[in-house]
Amino acid sequence: MTTLAEKFGLRKASGVGEAGWGHTLIVALVSLIYFLPVLMIIFTAFKPSAQALSVPPTLSPTSLFGLIPDQFVFTPTLENFGQVFNRVMVSGNAAEPTGFDVFFFNSFFISSVSVLLALVIGTLASYGFSRYPLKGNDTYLFIILTTRMLPAIVVIIPIILMFRTVGLSGSYVGIIMLYTAFNLAFTIWMMKSFFDELSYDVEDAARIDGSSEIKVFLKICLPQVVAGLAATFVFGLILTWNEFLFALLLTGVDTRTVPVAMNQAVSSGGRGTDWTLLASIETLFLIPVFLVTFFLQDHLLRGVTFGTVKR
Amino acid sequence: MTTTAQFLPAPPLLSPVAHNWKLALLAGLVVSVIAIVLFPARLSLSVVGAMAALVAAAFAVNAYRRRYYGGLLVAPAIAVLFVMNIFPLLWSLGLSFFAYQSNNQSIRFVGLNNYIKVLTNDIAAPANWDALINTGMFVVFTVALQMITGFLLAMLFAKQFPLRKYLLILVLTPMMLSVVASGVFFSYYYDPTFGILSYVMGEITGNQFILMDSKVGAVAGIVFTDAWMWAPFVMLLVLAGLVSVPKYLYEAAAIDRVSKARQFWTITFPYIRGLLMLALLFRTIEAFKLYDLVYILIRGGQDTKTIAYLITEIANEQNKTSEGAALSYVILFMVIVLTNLYLYLANRRNQGA
């Protein structure tokens, strides 16, 4: 049904206009193509090991009622997910625990604590940078950005030496502190732009009414940037969750995170890459961060908007 | 805003009140020195730590009394960044002036020699320049492809339509993958025997297709993988800008019969410009550090080594820590110059507009 506006050519070109199922169809096609490599990883997690590498490559768990030729179809299995936690490490031996439950816990614990810590410290700092500018405020901010510019390998050698001296290598505290610092730069830059956007009028009104500075921050400013906090949390989580190099060099056996363990599990034994194992670890590893992003999605969009667009 | 620091009289040096940071500093120094002299390393370290905390607390109380909130709020972040980032940065800057190998305890001062070495003659300077050119090439290609793809995807999602939320998360997923997994799986997709790409190309042309066989193919493979992973990041930022454009602007433009192209440049673009530039800034910084994909997909073969790859190779495999540090400071210098230039241009534009 065409509305009057459409008849006269007044349709909105962009912005948050409405579009129907036709548009959904186009976007669905594009999204699925974009998602295809991920889908292949997820499918590989369900393949029997024998069918992981085949010519032609197997593509689908069902033949979709005969649409897909049989040579591309594999029979799905859940076996690989069990292999993640218990598997035969030395051929001939019985299956033994791989310790992946611990590694998943480590990833979860280390990322969430360090991202939250960075969020707390970084939000305080960005509020300071935004509301009580220091002498040389911009210089401080630029130096903070600079900490993200060097390849990790350059900073890592002094950090290893430092951690060894202090006895922090292989401990939770060390890697959490490091990741906190690693997330701070992004958190401060992002959150500062959020605080800069807030109007000062409400704050000043509250101050005139006798609110303390702490109250102004907690009761007035903070509730207005919840969306920004969510957005920063998601970005930080995605980066920390998948961090590899620091984790490889600075975690011990007890504190190892999944990306490191994944790399070792897949390339150990000299039999080449174990595709189904890698795929099932990655699939399991994807779920938490996928869910968090999905549930914070609305905040993510609103948050980024609010934080960085100047009016 | 009440930013004024109040000028309260400082307490006498020896009065034991909480905000007397001079006394705390003095006591802390004395106790620390005694601890370092008398106790074993581990114990004295914790004593020094406790003293640092004491001094920090005194500073904090003092700052709060004087309403120096800026310093108070920023201090924890600066402290963490200093210990975990800036101190190691300065350390490696120091190392770049010494001859130091991580597998060897000897260390001696060589001044600017490492810099001269990596830039001119000795350790494969031609390779460094090649890697520099490669890095520049990867930065241009990956960032350009990410910006274009991200922008087009954002345009698709700028409207409200059924199932939008579920389709959006599909596009965001590549960003959430671990680089190890996506890199290894792309090397599988590109594999000449088992890969899907070679299979499709083989069916079409009849010949075996090996993507990674030439430099062009290898670069294309790496650029494609990197762009695929990070275009969603650009998309998210651009999309945020697009949805923030007030509807009435478009309605007014439509009434005035402004053309679509002009609507885009005068209404839409100003809203997404800041975000585009932010995305460009962060992606460029990251692209300069491109290492993992080059390693996983092709182990630096086909002349695709980037500077970050070379630094890792020098510092990690050949244990030439100080040369690696020198090379990375050359890069850091370039990135800083570029970033400053960029921020300067961005600011000038904002003020001009």
Domain boundaries, chain B: 1-85, 116-352
pLDDT at B142: 92
pLDDT at A298: 76
Nearest CB to B158 within list A15, A178, A281: A15
- The average pLDDT across A267-291 equals 81
Nearest CB to A121 within list B76, B179, B188: B76
Q: Are B20 and B58 in contact (CB under 8 A)?
A: yes
Do A34 and B251 count as a contact with CB atoms less than 8 A apart? no
pLDDT digits over B142-194, tens only? 999 999 999 999 888 887 788 888 888 899 899 898 888 888 888 888 877 77
* Cα-based angle A204, A207, A211 (whole degrees, multiple of 5): 145
pLDDT digits over B9-56, tens only? 666 666 767 777 777 788 888 888 887 777 776 677 777 788 888 888
Query: How long is chain B?
Result: 353
Q: With 80 as the cut, is the pLDDT of residue A89 above it?
A: no
Q: With 50 as the cut, is the pLDDT of residue A8 above it?
A: no
Among A58-72, A112-126, A142-156, B130-144, the least confident range = A58-72
Distance from C-alpha of A215 to C-alpha of A228, rounded to nearest angstrom: 20
pLDDT digits over B301-318, tens only? 777 787 788 788 777 777
pLDDT at A55: 67
- The average pLDDT across A202-206 equals 82
Q: Give ipTM to 2 decimals.
A: 0.79
Do A14 and B246 count as a contact with CB atoms less than 8 A apart? no
pLDDT at A162: 81
pLDDT at A76: 76
**Token pair for B254:** 């439509």
pLDDT digits over A256-265, tens only? 888 888 888 7
In DSSP notation, B78-109 reads HHHHIIIIIHHHHHHHHHTTEEEETTEEEEEE
Strand, coil or helix: A276:
helix
User: Which residues from B are below 8 Å from A303, CB to CB?
Assistant: 240
Nearest CB to A155 within list B89, B184, B336: B89
Task: Kindly tell me the burial class for residue A2, based on how many C-beta atoms sit within 10 Å of its own C-beta (0-12, 13-18, 19 or more).
Answer: exposed
Name the average pLDDT for chain B: 79
Q: With 70 as the cut, is the pLDDT of residue B105 above it?
A: no
Nearest CB to A154 within list B159, B246, B325: B325
Q: With 90 as the cut, is the pLDDT of residue B329 above it?
A: no
Location of structure tokens 């070679």: B198
Rg of chain A's alpha carbons, rounded to an integer?
A: 25
- Model confidence at A66, pLDDT cuts 50, 70, 90, reads low
- The average pLDDT across A224-248 equals 84
- The average pLDDT across A215-235 equals 82
Residue numbers of B between 7 and 46 with CB closer than 8 Å to A: 42, 45
Residue numbers of B between 232 and 251 with CB closer than 8 Å to A: 236-237, 239-247, 249-251
**Token pair for A28:** 């669905």
Identify the structural domains of chain A with CATH numbers, from first to last: 20-77 (no CATH), 100-308 (1.10.3720.10)
Q: What is the pTM of this model?
A: 0.81
Q: With 50 as the cut, is the pLDDT of residue A9 above it?
A: no
Q: Which residue has the higher pLDDT, A246 or A272?
A: A246
Among A4-8, A73-77, B88-92, B286-290, the least confident range = A4-8
- The average pLDDT across B202-206 equals 76
- Nearest CA of chain A to the CA of B103: how many Å? 12
Rg of chain B's alpha carbons, rounded to an integer?
A: 28
Q: With 80 as the cut, is the pLDDT of residue A127 above it?
A: yes
Nearest CB to B175 within list A125, A156, A238: A238
Residue of A nearest to B286 (CA): A149
pLDDT at B9: 66
Question: CB of B81 within 8 Å of any CB in chain A?
Answer: yes
Do A132 and B175 count as a contact with CB atoms less than 8 A apart? no
pLDDT at A97: 76
Q: Which residue has the higher pLDDT, B318 or B215?
A: B215
Do B164 and A24 count as a contact with CB atoms less than 8 A apart? yes
Location of structure tokens 């993200």: A148
In DSSP notation, B151-192 reads HHHHHHHTSB-TTHHHHHHHHHHHHHS-HHHHHHHHHHHT-T
Among A106-110, A296-300, B165-169, B282-286, the least confident range = A296-300
Q: With 70 as the cut, is the pLDDT of residue A13 above it?
A: no
pLDDT digits over B245-273, tens only? 777 777 888 888 888 888 888 888 877 77
Assign domain B116-352 to a CATH class.
Answer: mainly alpha
- The average pLDDT across B268-279 equals 77
**Token pair for B25:** 């500093």
